[in-house]
Amino acid sequence: MTEFIETYTVEEVARALKLHPYTIRRLSREGKIPAFKFGGQWRFNKEEIQKWMNKGKKK
């Protein structure tokens, strides 16, 4: 059986990052945030978003 990829919506990512959903869509179009389109809507792989957020943290 195939495993399903857990994803976030634009609104969920916007809430987590405290940004406007339009900003998240723009970053997605520009390729600045890992995203893919499914059925005309932007989706965000939970693992990829977590890696992306951790990459931006300074240690």
Structure tokens at 16: 């987590």
How crowded is residue 33: how many other Cβ atoms within 10 Å of its Cβ?
21
Task: Check: CB of residue 34 under 8 Å from CB of residue 42.
Answer: no
Number of domains in the chain: 1
Structure tokens at 57: 């943290």
Q: Is residue 59 part of a domain?
A: no
pTM attached to this predicted model: 0.83
| pLDDT 10s digits, 4-46 | 889 999 999 999 999 999 999 999 999 999 999 999 999 999 9
Q: Is residue 1 part of a domain?
A: no
Residue range of the domain that includes 28: 7-53
